[in-house]
């Protein structure tokens, strides 16, 4: 398949109808599409994946987040206008096996009252422009595309550069799918299918033979067929257990990784618990300190009055003098004594006497005191209040200091707890316990499976021994029977064919794997920079088509290589696949890469730009200006492989236009 044209209508950022013509002929087979982030490079990648495979989301999309494929501006215009909904479509023109095809996929979208957009698949049509025929049945179109490129390995040809390195670490549960996809791509699956057909024919012939036989021969045949069925059943069961074992092993690994993370945080969890306990106490103390301080409010107004009180006392002292208040006699009592000319002790005196003068003096003094009574009282109260306030200032300071120390401790505890929270985010003791329990259950189940696996192996080995005996018996009986010679010969030939096929398939797959290893290693050596080349020596392709890379000391090294090197390794494998699948000529399949150079060093990028055009039939590159500046552009275009150049320009928020750019003439 070679893509010649991509047309989008109201799809993602591409408002209206916009088309890209791809370079595909001869040496100029590279199309470069340049766009800054957010301009729609991934929109183009989406368009291709949507048209070919109906993918509405990509791997990089957040799980559960719907991606709106319809153009937002067109939707808004429709909402403001007739509100009938809009059609978004992607049309791909491609060439395959000398025929010209057009694939058209569309959907209808409408903005609903609640603001959500309802999107619904509309048309899927495949047109063969060579003879004008059309396929409109979804299943048939999908089958056609599947024959072009197995969906299971689509990401080996249409990929997002940021995620390409993931191909070197496919999940265990996806490995089998990917391996089937690769076998399909390498056409090994067709040989496997032939073997299966022969197997079915052999089974049918055996049944027929059984039907037409009699006596001991029939019995032996029945026994053989039953044994074969039992062996197949046991092997199938074993395969099922094996698959489950792989899944269990993956789960154990996941649990172990998680537990390891959790064990690192379990110390933090313990510390956090201790700090939280301490915080509880400190918070309680802080609340009490708050209350104690608040209780002092009745005093603070009085404390503020302190200097006024001292000042007033001073003034009153000055005004009243140092005389103490005479409390023994009142002025009226003294006046009575003076009037009666009688002393306090009862003795009489006259007006010229000393006693009379003294009583007169005392009377004047007491009379003066009585007129200043209020001032005396005020002075007493002021002094009393000053006395009350003694010590209150230090109490206030103490309480404030208490509060401050609680506050400081609380702040420090909160900071420490926050730090620990960040360490233990997403983990909990409960999950440690649950994971521990789950691990125990998984390990127990795995052990049971191992026992069952061995039992089944013993069972089918025993059955196969028995089958060999029955086969011998059958041989003997066959000579004696002389019956159904034709059927017997047919069965024998089929059996031989299946055996030969099995050997051939194994041999062929081994050869293909070896070719893949060789090509991947060569490509890797070409693409790596000097230091990478020295460090990474060899690539091994496993039976499940997963990769391992070996260092100079022939040690497995995949786990230690950088992200950039992983990306280069993936690209080496992908290009090797294209080479091996293509045989003598380049595989007719585009390499469609979204931002492939992001993590690559300059050396890696240059090597890749020199290498890919040599082995691929079409290369479509979506790049940012950081990956593809003017210098890189000039250099790449001067090599003569770039046929088309486009720039994605944003004309308004959410709307991108595709503008064709000039490609430098390398002559």
Q: Of 11, 4, 6, 3, which Cα lies nearest the Cα of 655?
A: 11
Which range in 22-30, 139-147, 290-298, 336-344 contacts another protein by CB under 8 A? Answer: 290-298
Q: Is 325 a residue that touches another protein (CB under 8 A)?
A: no
Q: In whole angstroms, how close is the CB of 301 to another protein at the nearest point?
A: 3
Q: In whole angstroms, how close is the CB of 369 to another protein at the nearest point?
A: 16
CA-CA distance, 375 to 383, in Å (whole number)? 12
With respect to another protein, which residue has the nearer C-beta, 252 or 400? 400
CA-CA distance, 138 to 119, in Å (whole number)? 18
Q: Is 320 a residue that touches another protein (CB under 8 A)?
A: no
Backbone angles phi and psi of 112, in degrees to 5: -90, 170
Residues in the chain: 667
CA-CA distance, 628 to 600, in Å (whole number)? 12
Which range in 96-104, 239-247, 311-319, 349-357 contacts another protein by CB under 8 A? Answer: 311-319
CA-CA distance, 542 to 545, in Å (whole number)? 5
Q: Of 35, 2, 28, 8, which Cα lies nearest the Cα of 20?
A: 8
Helix (H, G, I), strand (E, B) or coil at 150: coil
Structural tokens at position 59: 């791997």
Residue among 81, 132, 301, 482 that touches another protein (CB under 8 A): 301
With respect to another protein, which residue has the nearer C-beta, 226 or 315? 315
Q: In whole angstroms, how close is the CB of 352 to another protein at the nearest point?
A: 41
576 neighbors 519 (Cβ within 8 angstroms): yes
Q: In whole angstroms, how close is the CB of 390 to another protein at the nearest point?
A: 11
With respect to another protein, which residue has the nearer C-beta, 293 or 505? 293
Residue among 191, 385, 483, 518 that touches another protein (CB under 8 A): 385
Site for another protein in 193-232 (CB under 8 A): none
With respect to another protein, which residue has the nearer C-beta, 316 or 338? 316
Structural tokens at position 578: 């294209």
Q: In whole angstroms, how close is the CB of 376 to another protein at the nearest point?
A: 11
Helix (H, G, I), strand (E, B) or coil at 104: strand
Q: Is 376 a residue that touches another protein (CB under 8 A)?
A: no
| Angle, CA 218 vertex, CA 213 and CA 223 arms, to 5° | 145
With respect to another protein, which residue has the nearer C-beta, 252 or 389? 389
618 neighbors 590 (Cβ within 8 angstroms): yes
| Chain-centre distance for alpha carbon 504 | 43
With respect to another protein, which residue has the nearer C-beta, 274 or 393? 393
Q: Is 296 a residue that touches another protein (CB under 8 A)?
A: yes
Between the alpha carbon of residue 34 and those of residues 44, 75, 449, the distances in Å are 11, 27, 54
Q: Is 306 a residue that touches another protein (CB under 8 A)?
A: yes
With respect to another protein, which residue has the nearer C-beta, 395 or 629? 395
Backbone angles phi and psi of 655, in degrees to 5: -125, 125
Q: Is 387 a residue that touches another protein (CB under 8 A)?
A: no
With respect to another protein, which residue has the nearer C-beta, 117 or 305? 305
With respect to another protein, which residue has the nearer C-beta, 309 or 664? 309
Q: Is 368 a residue that touches another protein (CB under 8 A)?
A: no
With respect to another protein, which residue has the nearer C-beta, 414 or 444? 414
Q: What is the CA radius of gyration of the chain?
A: 48
Binding mask 97-136 for another protein (x = CB under 8 A): ----------------------------------------
CA-CA distance, 569 to 260, in Å (whole number)? 29
CA-CA distance, 410 to 159, in Å (whole number)? 52
Which range in 85-93, 305-313, 550-558, 562-570 contacts another protein by CB under 8 A? Answer: 305-313
Quote the DSSP letter at residue 69.
-
Q: Is 321 a residue that touches another protein (CB under 8 A)?
A: no
With respect to another protein, which residue has the nearer C-beta, 114 or 371? 371
Structural tokens at position 455: 């039992």
Quote the DSSP letter at residue 325.
P
With respect to another protein, which residue has the nearer C-beta, 382 or 541? 382
Q: In whole angstroms, how close is the CB of 298 to another protein at the nearest point?
A: 5
Site for another protein in 397-416 (CB under 8 A): 397, 400, 403
What residues contact 642, with CB distance under 8 A and at least 6 apart? 23, 28, 30, 31, 32, 636, 663
Q: In whole angstroms, how close is the CB of 415 to another protein at the nearest point?
A: 20
Question: Judged by CB under 8 A, how many residues of this single chain contact another protein?
Answer: 34
Q: In whole angstroms, how close is the CB of 314 to another protein at the nearest point?
A: 10
Residue among 297, 339, 347, 585 that touches another protein (CB under 8 A): 297
Site for another protein in 328-367 (CB under 8 A): none
CB 334: neighbour CB atoms within 10 A?
21
With respect to another protein, which residue has the nearer C-beta, 166 or 306? 306
Residue among 120, 307, 340, 652 that touches another protein (CB under 8 A): 307
CA-CA distance, 432 to 262, in Å (whole number)? 7
What residues contact 574, with CB distance under 8 A and at least 6 apart? 156, 157, 159, 164, 167, 591
What are the respective helix, strand and coil percentages of the chain, to the nearest 5? Answer: 60, 15, 20
With respect to another protein, which residue has the nearer C-beta, 305 or 525? 305
Q: Is 417 a residue that touches another protein (CB under 8 A)?
A: no
473 neighbors 222 (Cβ within 8 angstroms): no
Q: Is 388 a residue that touches another protein (CB under 8 A)?
A: yes
Binding mask 45-84 for another protein (x = CB under 8 A): ----------------------------------------
Backbone angles phi and psi of 58, in degrees to 5: -110, 165
Q: Which helix (H) or strand (E) holds 448?
A: helix 429-481
Q: Is 260 a residue that touches another protein (CB under 8 A)?
A: no
Q: Is 377 a residue that touches another protein (CB under 8 A)?
A: yes
Q: Is 315 a residue that touches another protein (CB under 8 A)?
A: yes
Q: In whole angstroms, how close is the CB of 597 to another protein at the nearest point?
A: 53
Between the alpha carbon of residue 212 and those of residues 98, 184, 197, 338, 484, the distances in Å are 51, 39, 23, 165, 8
Site for another protein in 33-52 (CB under 8 A): none
Q: Return residues touching another protein (CB under 8 A).
A: 290, 293-294, 296-298, 300-312, 315, 374-375, 377-378, 381-382, 384-385, 388, 393, 396-397, 400, 403
């Amino acid at each position: 398949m070679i893509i010649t044209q991509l047309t989008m209508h109201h799809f993602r950022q591409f408002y209206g109808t916009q088309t890209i013509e791809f370079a595909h002929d001869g040496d100029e087979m590279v199309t470069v599409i340049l766009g800054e982030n957010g301009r729609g490079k991934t929109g183009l990648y989406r368009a291709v994946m949507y048209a070919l495979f109906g993918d509405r989301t990509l791997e990089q999309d957040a799980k559960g987040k719907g991606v709106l494929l319809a153009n937002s501006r067109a939707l808004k215009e429709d909402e403001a206008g007739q509100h009938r909904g809009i059609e978004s479509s992607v049309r791909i023109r491609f060439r395959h096996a000398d025929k010209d095809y057009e694939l058209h996929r569309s959907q209808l979208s409408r903005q609903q009252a609640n603001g959500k957009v309802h999107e619904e698949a509309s048309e899927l049509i495949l047109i063969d422009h060579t003879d004008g025929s059309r396929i409109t049945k979804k299943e048939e179109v999908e089958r056609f595309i599947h024959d072009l490129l197995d969906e299971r390995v689509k990401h080996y040809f249409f990929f997002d550069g940021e995620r390409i390195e993931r191909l070197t670490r496919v999940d265990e549960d996806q490995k089998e799918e990917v391996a089937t996809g690769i076998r399909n791509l390498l056409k090994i699956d067709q040989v496997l299918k032939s073997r299966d057909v022969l197997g079915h024919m052999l089974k049918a012939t055996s049944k027929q033979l059984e039907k037409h036989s009699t006596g001991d021969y029939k019995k032996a045949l029945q026994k053989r067929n039953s044994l074969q069925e039992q062996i197949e059943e046991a092997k199938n069961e074993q395969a099922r257990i094996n698959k489950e074992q792989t899944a269990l092993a993956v789960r154990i690994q996941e649990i172990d990784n998680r537990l390891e993370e959790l064990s690192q945080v379990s110390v933090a969890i313990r510390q956090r618990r201790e700090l939280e306990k301490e915080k509880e106490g400190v918070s309680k103390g802080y609340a009490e300190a708050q209350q104690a301080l608040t209780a002092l409010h009745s005093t603070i107004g009085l404390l503020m009055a302190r200097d006024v009180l001292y000042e007033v006392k001073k003034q009153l002292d000055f005004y009243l003098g140092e005389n103490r208040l005479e409390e023994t006699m009142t002025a009226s009592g003294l006046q009575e004594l003076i009037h009666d000319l009688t002393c306090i002790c009862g003795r009489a005196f006259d007006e010229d006497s000393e006693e009379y003068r003294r009583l007169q003096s005392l009377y004047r003094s007491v009379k003066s005191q009585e007129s200043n009574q209020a001032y005396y009282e005020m002075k007493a109260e002021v002094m009393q209040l000053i006395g009350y306030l003694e010590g209150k200032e230090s109490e206030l300071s103490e309480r404030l200091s208490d509060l401050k120390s609680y506050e400081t401790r609380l702040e420090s505890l909160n900071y420490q707890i926050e730090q620990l929270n960040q360490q233990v985010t997403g983990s909990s003791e409960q999950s440690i316990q649950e994971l521990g329990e789950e691990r125990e259950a998984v390990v127990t189940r795995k052990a049971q499976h191992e026992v069952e696996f061995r039992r089944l192996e013993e069972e089918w080995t025993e059955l196969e021994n028995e089958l060999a005996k029955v086969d011998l018996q059958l041989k003997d009986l066959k000579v004696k029977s002389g019956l159904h010679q034709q059927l017997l010969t047919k069965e024998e030939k089929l059996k031989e064919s299946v055996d030969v096929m099995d050997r051939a398939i194994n041999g062929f797959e081994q050869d293909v794997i070896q070719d893949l290893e060789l090509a991947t290693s060569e490509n890797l050596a070409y693409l790596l920079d000097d230091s990478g080349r020295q460090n990474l020596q060899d690539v091994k392709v496993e039976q499940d088509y997963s990769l391992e890379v070996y260092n100079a000391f022939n040690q497995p090294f995949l786990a230690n290589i950088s992200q950039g090197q992983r990306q280069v390794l993936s690209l080496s494998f992908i290009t090797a696949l294209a080479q091996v699948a293509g045989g003598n000529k380049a595989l007719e399949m585009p390499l469609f890469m979204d931002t492939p150079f992001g993590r690559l060093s300059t050396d890696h990028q240059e090597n890749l730009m020199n290498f890919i055009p040599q082995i691929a039939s079409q290369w479509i590159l979506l790049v940012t200006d950081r990956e593809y500046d003017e210098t890189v552009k000039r250099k790449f275009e001067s090599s003569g492989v770039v046929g088309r150049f486009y720039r994605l320009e944003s004309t308004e928020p959410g709307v991108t236009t595709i503008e064709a750019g000039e490609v430098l003439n390398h002559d």
